[in-house]
Copies of this chain bind each other. A is one copy, B any other.
């Protein structure tokens, strides 16, 4: 292939210090430096361009990618499978229903048992506040110890596919989308993004998407407006951290209780439902206790509380108040679309319809983001790996 579409990305990569990513897991964006985040974007785009040119980015001849989902998922499951396949890894699910984890096996042991020939482990664990991230850390420590002890020939890279704190593959795909829509990361400086709660007739949606968005977009000089009804706050430490990140990056971070204020003059809106932090805390306790009655009663009271905020909907009228009336609408999907997937929900059908394609484009970055996270963890010199893929130019399709 002509190397041109990938060359600028290789040049960019050469300027970045991503050396600490080698051998590291990708758990939370705020544990990564700006350079490291930029490296993920560069590698992700390079892989996407290679594939678009039908050059195979397969770097593994064999090896497993383990997926462990403790919550339902279509798009992230397929994104992970696509990323693994793109790199040459075979996906194998750790289905805890089928496995012996249910029999009291320790995390440490399972982590090693699934890793003898594995290169990557993708984990979604977002049900329990204070547990998902901790679990991933524990798996990672087990793998490192086993690798150091010579029990594992290679140390699989963990990719956080959503935890109780962050949803880094989503947030990074969102960032890639924004960079592409606005003309690069630098162009995001000074842009206003409204990350707002929105009404949904369901309950118990995790906090990781809004937390991931405010934890990442505040890094790039954007004006991040977080808005939610009184009481629907995120994990307090993460809100506090967003303020600091914004200050450091020359952007701003505000928290308010008005969707209208957040939408006003916004360049980007991200209206999305979630369950309040205090509800997630209660829910976690009830889930741990196996208290079905308690869960039902919590759900009932939450839905009643939600219902008081039906006006938190991204309507045409609200969209009119954004920058030139045409803010970019974002969502991690699936959205609760009024009159489509529910009677009334997060977004008016006409608003969603007008920008559906953009939300699909946003989602389409995720497989490459995941593949980039794996690649950066497995190779000391990612630019050299990409350069070899370019020069080998092995066709993905022999047509």
**A236: which B residues are within 8 A, CB to CB?**
none
Closest residue on chain B to residue A388 by CB atoms: B398
**Chain B CB within 8 A of A98 CB:** yes
A334 contacts B399, C-beta separation under 8 Å? no
A-B contact pairs, 13 of them (CB 8 A): A64-B85, A72-B102, A73-B99, A74-B101, A79-B116, A81-B90, A82-B116, A90-B91, A100-B334, A103-B334, A104-B341, A116-B367, A152-B364
- The answer, yes or no, to whether A106 is at the interface (CB within 8 Å) is yes
Residues of B within 8 A of A116 (CB): 78-79, 82, 363-364, 366-367
The answer to whether B399 and A361 have CB atoms under 8 Å apart is: no
Within 8 A of B (CB), among A362-382: 363-364, 366-367, 378-381
Tell me whether B61 and A117 are in contact (CB under 8 A). no
Q: Which of A69, A78, A381, A388 has the most CB of B within 10 A?
A: A78
Stretch from A50-58, A218-226, A276-284, A301-309 contacting the other chain = A50-58
Which chain A residues in 65-116 approach chain B with CB under 8 Å?
66, 69, 72-75, 77-79, 81-82, 85-86, 88, 90-92, 94, 98-106, 109-110, 112-114, 116
The answer for the CA separation of A202 and B333 in the assembled complex, in Å, is 42
Beyond A57-B62, A75-B100, list 12 extra A-B contacts (CB 8 Å).
Answer: A56-B61, A59-B399, A61-B394, A64-B81, A74-B105, A81-B90, A85-B117, A104-B342, A106-B340, A112-B360, A117-B367, A378-B397
Closest to A385 in B: B399
Of the candidates B60, B66, B367, B378, the one whose C-beta lies within 8 Å of that of A396 is: B60
- Residue numbers in B under 8 Å from A216 (CB-CB): none
Among A52, A88, A381, A399, the most chain B Cβ lie within 10 Å of the Cβ of A399
Query: What CA separation (Å) do A56 and B63 show in the bound complex?
Result: 10
- Asked whether any CB of chain B lies closer than 8 Å to the CB of A357, the reply is yes
In the bound complex, do residue B397 and residue A60 qualify as a contact, i.e. CB atoms below 8 Å apart?
A: yes
Q: Mark each residue of chain A from 169 to 212: 1 if its CB lies under 8 Å from any CB of chain B, else 0.
A: 00000000000000000000000000000000010000000000
Q: Pick the contact of A117 from B51, B103, B106, B202 — CB < 8 Å?
A: B51
Determine if A8 is an interface residue (Cβ-Cβ < 8 Å).
no
User: In the complex, what distance in Å separates the CA atom of A149 from the CA atom of B359?
Assistant: 13
Q: Which residues of B contact A90 (CB under 8 A)?
A: 81, 85, 90-91
A339 at the interface (CB under 8 A from B): no
Does A146 reach chain B (CB closer than 8 Å)? yes
User: A231 near B: Cβ within 8 Å?
Assistant: no
Interface assignment of A395: CB less than 8 Å from any CB of chain B? yes
Residues of B near A394 (CB, < 8 A) are 61
Task: Answer whether residue A153 sits at the interface, using C-beta atoms and an 8 A cutoff.
Answer: yes
Distance to closest chain B CB from A250 (angstroms): 34
Contact A72 B51 (CB under 8 A): no
Provide the residues of chain B in CB contact with A334, threshold 8 Å.
100, 103-106, 109
Residue A151 interfacial (CB < 8 Å): yes
- Nearest-Cβ distance from residue A384 to partner chain B, whole angstroms: 8
- A62 contacts B88, CB within 8 Å? yes
Whether the pair B61, A114 counts as a contact (CB closer than 8 A) is no
CB neighbors of B among A286-339 (8 A): 333-334
In the complex formed, the residue of B with least CB distance to A55 is B61
The one of B52, B58, B62, B77 that contacts A86, using a Cβ cutoff of 8 Å? B62
Q: Cα distance A73–B95 when bound, in Å?
A: 10
**A381 contacts which chain B residues (CB < 8 A)?**
399
The 6 closest A-B pairs by CB, nearest first: A74-B99, A82-B117, A56-B61, A105-B334, A104-B341, A75-B113
